[in-house]
Amino acid sequence: MSVIVTATASVNIAVIKYWGKRDEELILPLNDSISATLDTNVMCARTSVCARPDIQKNEIYLNGIKNSFDNKRLQTCLKKIKAIATLQKTVDEEFLSWNVRICSENNFPTAAGLASSAAGYACLVTALAKLYKIQTDISQIARLGSGSACRSVFGGFVRWHAGVKCDGSDSTAAQIVQSTHWPEMRVLVLVVADKEKHTSSSIGMKKSSETSELLKYRVEHCVPRRVDEMINAIKKKDFPRFAELTMKDSNQFHAICLDSYPPFHYLTDVSYKIIDVVHKYNEMYRETKVAYTFDAGPNACLFLLEENVPEVLGVIKYVFPSSNTDYVRGLDVPEEEEH
Ligand code: 2P0
């Protein structure tokens, strides 16, 4: 006897960044954040979980390679879901006592620093919730795996409410609009480097929370206003406003990294070149047609409308003649129509 379930979850790209925790154990953020979840099959994780009485110990395989299950965040997610299943009596006790074998795969290069943990944990938690048939807000459980994972539980544009409670029960994600709301929106992912980042997000956030005055200012004065403006821009499909807020928020996040002490940085010369190219392109048209955003690494995500994709790709090819566009994928674009 065995039970197998499979789930998928996609990478999300933050347009209002999450940076800094008020509680490291419960992964509670200092501020609300907003992201776009890429459509299924574009850049996603696929996880199967098998429960069987003859599995001796819990096991996890990532992209076909056996990893250690001795991972606190992974164990927390499994424990939490089993505890809810026990409480809700959704499955019998014998089934709950069986160990699990988890197999997770990404359809994009894990090493490229493209937020694989967000899609991975969102997918894992979705699969486990399905296995144990629990009915609950799973974004809160995905958050315990990796903060930004709570946003990948939903499609379209998503807001992670920081919440105010100490137990984290109001720190949860919610969809702002479905992915069908803005069908012309595209994302180009420019892989600048596929090396491991030198300062992990968790360590970087801790350093910034402890030392950056700019982070305090951002949390109090900038994010609340930007979140409202961003939601408005998304709902009205106001691309220039959306784009300006996205770029300013990315720039502020990277300024906070430099304002931390000792400072750290994620952007490289190539990242700065991309920033310059985007601003020059927008200036040429006297209109904001493309926006960049960078996470905890040098890779750029460009947001733009579908009608501008061919020209922008041409510009990228011109500025970076050796670039390979294999990994350039779009929001809402089915897999077979890669650019
Ligand atoms: C974001 N990042 O909003 C921001 C922008 C990176 C830069 O969320 O410690 O991997 O697991 O909560 O979720 C990366 O942080 O960190 C992140 P943990 P996570 O997407």
- The pick from 32, 71, 148 for probing ligand 1's pocket by mutation, whose C-beta has the most ligand atoms within 8 angstroms, reads 148
For tokens 């953020």, what's the residue?
29
Q: Confidence class of residue 115 from pLDDT cuts 50, 70 and 90?
A: low
In the reported structure, the alpha carbon of residue 231 is separated from the centroid of ligand 1 by a whole-number distance in angstroms of 20
Q: ipTM, 2 decimals?
A: 0.99
Query: At 312, phi and psi to the nearest 5?
Result: -65, -40
DSSP sequence for 107-131: SS-GGG-S-HHHHHHHHHHHHHHHH
Q: Which residues line ligand 1 (CB under 6 A)?
A: 14, 17-19, 27, 33, 117-118, 146-148, 201-202, 295-296
115 CA distance to ligand 1 middle (Å): 8
Residue 9 near residue 152, CB atoms below 8 Å? yes
CB 277 within 8 A of CB 315: yes
**Predicted pLDDT at 118:** 93
Nearest CA, atom 9, ligand 1: 202
Closest to 39 (Cα-Cα) out of 231, 202, 178, 164: 178
Query: Residue 151, Cα to own-chain centre: how many angstroms?
Result: 7
Q: Ligand 1 centroid to 53 CA: how many Å?
A: 36
Given ligand 1 and candidates 10, 30, 73, 146, which is best to mutate, with the most ligand atoms within 8 Å of its CB? Answer: 146
Dist CA 242 CA 124 (whole Å):
31
Ligand 1 centroid vs 155 CA: distance in angstroms? 18
pLDDT band of residue 330 (cuts 50, 70, 90) is very low
| pLDDT (tens digit per residue) in 15-72 | 999 999 999 999 999 999 999 999 978 899 999 999 999 999 999 999 999 999 999 9
Q: Are strands 28-29 and 21-23 parallel, antiparallel or unpaired?
A: antiparallel
For a ligand 1 pocket test, name from 15, 16, 18 the mutation site with the most ligand atoms within 8 angstroms of its C-beta. 18
Return the sign of the alpha-carbon dihedral for residues 58, 63, 66, 67.
negative
